[in-house]
Structure 1
Amino acid sequence: MTDTAKLFYTKEHEWVEVINDDYVRIGITEYAVEQLGDIVFVELPEVGTDLSEEDEFATVESVKSTSEIYAPVDGSVAKVNSSLEDEPEKMNESPYEEGWLIELQSKDAVDTSDLLDEKAYQDYLDTL
């Protein structure tokens, strides 16, 4: 089970798990999943796609709406969670474990200075 206290977050409800200095895993938070409702389709980028912070990289469709997901950090897509193509409901069931979206490889150490830690993210949620 992922320790959510070790994750970083954005105000757009993405989470970032730093696997090592230049490699991260990205997904959307439980809050985002709850807001979307039942997820029925996920479109992910191709491996090798270069992303800059704030680039759109995925589309998540639910019974309620369609949402674009944006890169919280720079990097090249190293891996996608292809199981979501056939089982998008994994995002509802396990947003921090089986429901992750992509892994990024950065040219440099990943800069998390603009991201929120768990306490700051929870404080932000309390304002919504």
Structure 2
Amino acid sequence: MNKVTDTLRYYSCHEWVRVLANYAIVGVTDFVTDGAITLIGSVNYERLYAAGDQIGVVETHSGEKFPFYVPVTGYITGINNHPTKDTRNPYGKGWLLIVKIEIPAEVEKLLTEKEYAGLIQGVPYHYVKAS
């Protein structure tokens, strides 16, 4: 069952965002995975990433791979090298990135809970795949 929470914002490619001060904690929603995940790719901590830049691929415990994007413009300040997805709380320890937000107005452009729930309604579970 997909769980969407109203304390988060969502990127249309199934990333969730929790804003704490000037930082965005970013992970993937349980729509695309319900188990362990790994971020594959390299990050340049000195680079300013634009919203929508692909920074790697997320691989699920079942071997599925899909692209992972930075949902807001900013500098990546942290990566979780050992994310876990607790199916009871997929939006906790499963975070992947911390981004220092450079354009705060972009947060308001992210999807709300209701908008994201509408996006995934009627779409087959785990449909996103990387090429």
TM-score (norm 1): 0.76
| Cα separation, 1, equivalents of 2:13 and 2:86 | 17
C-alpha displacement of 1:103: 0.5
1:91 and 2:85 correspond: yes
C-alpha displacement of 1:25: 0.5
Unpaired runs of at least 5, structure 2: 124-131
| Cα separation, 1, equivalents of 2:37 and 2:55 | 17
Unpaired runs of at least 5, structure 1: 85-89
C-alpha displacement of 1:5: 1.0
Letter in 2 for 1:26: V
Q: Which has the higher helix share?
A: 1
Letter in 1 for 2:110: L
User: Does the CA-based 8 Å contact 1:33-1:92 persist in structure 2?
Assistant: no
Root mean square deviation of aligned Cα: 2.3
Letter in 2 for 1:9: Y
TM-score (norm 2): 0.75
1:74 and 2:68 correspond: no
1:60 and 2:58 correspond: yes
| Cα separation, 1, equivalents of 2:29 and 2:37 | 17
Q: How does 1:92-107 map to 2 (within 5 A)?
A: 93=87, 94-107=89-102
Name the structure 2 match of 1:121. Answer: 116
User: Does the CA-based 8 Å contact 1:40-1:61 persist in structure 2?
Assistant: yes
Q: Evaluate the alpha carbon distance shift between residue 115 and residue 48 of structure 1 in structure 2; reply closer, same or farther with a 3 A threshold.
A: same
Q: Evaluate the alpha carbon distance shift between residue 107 and residue 92 of structure 1 in structure 2; reply closer, same or farther with a 3 A threshold.
A: same
Aligned residues: 117
